[in-house]
Amino acid sequence: MAQILVVDDEIGIRELLSEILTDEGHDVRTAENAAAAREARDAARPDLVLLDIWMPDTDGITLLKEWSAGGQLTMPVIMMSGHGTIDTAVEATRIGAMEFLEKPIGMQKLMAAVGRALERGRRRVVAGLSLAAFPRSAPLKDLKKRLEQMAAKSRALLLRSGVGGIVELAARTLHPPGKAWIDLAASPEPLSLEMLGAASGGILYCEDLARLTRLQQKNALFALDRLERYNLHLVVGSGSDYQSLVQQGWDEAGLRRLSEVWLALPTLADLKDEVPDIASHLLVQLAESGESPLRRFNSGALNALRQHAWAGGYGELKSAIRSLALAALGEEIDGEEVGRLLFPDAAAESGLPPEVMDLPLREAREMFERVYFEHHLRIDGGNMTRLAEKTGLERTHLYRKLKDLGLRGGKGEE
């Protein structure tokens, strides 16, 4: 028995499909529009969605794109339409739909499509997070557009990135749903023509050229010569200059070819305001893929994540989110939990010196208050509302206290 969500604005179609699928032993839920579909999908985590294209609030193609970009296309989707065109069907399958059915749908055709989709869904791998998940972020939206423009004209793309880059997040943006994703740094054997053929339409990826062994370097150049033939894209990152890579054994002529088309990427330090949104999406993906229970960040946690330097880049952020999700004792992750993970030595580093006991009471109290407020400002990312709640101080009094101690407040002060 599978859990199936039927999304259609026509009540007659919803009831008919629900009755047929229920008689076949499936557990069926229905939704009359995109808003109800989002809610039902998040609540039930269905094994399959039958999704109508034409709906009054948000059309099915847009909803499919939304799920795909946010890492929520963890289930197979069958699109339905009474006014479908070939272009619409192609667009739906490109985004990630597994089938496209025209209304009216015959029972035999319906059950065959449902059977195929459920079987493929059992083998489905959750796609990684991409820039498509952040349509409201101007820098990420612009970066996505540049990447897509360049990939449309060049099958090989070098992403130049300093420490703290977002190479994987950028590369995933060019990864078609359901197609191969081959990490060259994880391959211990030579690439073959058969392997390239099996990966047709997919991405060959490397986060950092400097990390590849001699064999893996040869694999990258072997694939570079055959990208057009096998309908592949090669997306590689590098934080090293040309001479450094040559000294590490890279073939100069091959390296020049790899570097013909390149794009400089921002670091997470450049994208400070985007970090909370990226972190939230990563947290959702962990739950969707079954790697962790359902979790959410509160505002204090998001502020703490935003303030962190992320010297290890996107990889460090992913690792931190996974650690927080697995270690959390409740559904909500707060700023203190983030602080314990990111600043394990903070208590020791900010502890009061032994000589504090020899100070007059007034000076000792002032020293303690400074350490106390510095600690909570750091944990909550400067969020004055959270700080006022924790300290039990009225905000006007709190601002005055911070000013007297020579400390700068957070967002509220700004």
* Top-ranked range on mean pLDDT: pick from 96-100, 115-119, 194-198: 194-198
Range list of β-strands (E), 250-387: 262-264, 296-297, 332-333
DSSP string across 112-137: HHHHHHHHHHHT--PPPP-GGG-TT-
Cα-Cα end-to-end distance for the chain: 55
Point out which residues pair with 182 in neighbouring strands: 204
Q: How many residues would you count in the chain?
A: 414
Q: How many CB atoms lie within 10 A of CB 128?
A: 18
Could you check whether 3-122 and 131-264 share the same CATH topology?
yes
Exposure letters 328-366 (e unless 16+ CB within 10 A, then b): beeeebbbbbbbebbbeeeeeeeeeeeeeeeeeeeeeee
pLDDT digits (tens, 9 = 90+) for 329-341: 999 999 888 888 8
Under 8 Å between Cβ of 8 and 17: yes
Kindly indicate whether the domain formed by 3-122 is annotated with CATH number 2.30.40.10.
no
222 vs 293: which has the higher pLDDT: 222
**Taking the mean position of all CA atoms in its chain, how far away is CA 58?**
23
* Chain position carrying tokens 């985004």: 95
**Taking the mean position of all CA atoms in its chain, how far away is CA 23?**
38
Residue 182 has a pLDDT of 95
d(CA 83, CA 76): 22
- Number of Cα atoms under 13 Å in the Cβ half of residue 29: 19
d(CA 156, CA 153): 9
96: left (phi over 0), alpha (psi -120 to 50) or beta: left
Q: Which among 97, 164, 157, 198 has a CA at the least distance from the CA of 308? A: 164
Residue 409 has a pLDDT of 61
> Where are the chain's structural domains?
3-122, 131-264, 272-342, 349-404
pTM of the model: 0.67
Kindly indicate whether the domain formed by 272-342 is annotated with CATH number 1.10.8.60.
yes
Please determine, for residue 408, whether its predicted confidence score (pLDDT) is greater than 90.
no
Residue type, 246: V
Token representation of residue 203:
């991405």
Mean pLDDT across 249-255:
92
Residue 120 has a pLDDT of 80
For residue 359, give every residue at least 6 positions away whose Cβ sits within 8 Å of its Cβ, in sequence order, or none: 367
Q: What is the DSSP letter of 72?
A: -
Residue type, 149: Q
* Top-ranked range on mean pLDDT: pick from 82-91, 223-232, 306-315, 330-339: 223-232
Q: Does residue 392 sit in helix, strand or coil?
A: coil
Q: Which CATH architecture has domain 131-264?
A: 3-Layer(aba) Sandwich (3.40)
Residue type, 156: A
pLDDT digits (tens, 9 = 90+) for 200-223: 999 999 999 999 999 999 999 999
Please confirm whether the linkage preceding 360 is cis (ω < 30° from 0): no
For residue 168, give every residue at least 6 positions away whose Cβ sits within 8 Å of its Cβ, in sequence order, or none: 128, 205, 207, 314, 315
Please determine, for residue 7, whether its predicted confidence score (pLDDT) is greater than 80.
yes
Mean pLDDT across 288-317:
88
Residue type, 118: L
Q: Which among 88, 80, 361 has a CA at the least distance from the CA of 369? A: 361
349-404: which CATH topology? Answer: Arc Repressor Mutant, subunit A (1.10.10)
pLDDT digits (tens, 9 = 90+) for 218-245: 999 999 999 999 999 999 999 898 899 9
Residue 350 has a pLDDT of 47
For residue 388, give every residue at least 6 positions away whose Cβ sits within 8 Å of its Cβ, in sequence order, or none: 394, 395, 398
Phi, psi of 6 (to 5 degrees): -105, 120
d(CA 127, CA 257): 29
Query: What's the pLDDT band for 353 if we cut at 50, 70, 90?
Result: low
372 vs 222: which has the higher pLDDT: 222
Residue 68 has a pLDDT of 83
128 vs 49: which has the higher pLDDT: 49
d(CA 302, CA 292): 19
Under 8 Å between Cβ of 161 and 267: yes
Angle at 295 between CA 290 and CA 301, to 5 degrees: 140
Query: What's the pLDDT band for 352 if we cut at 50, 70, 90?
Result: low
Residue 360 has a pLDDT of 78
Residue 356 has a pLDDT of 57
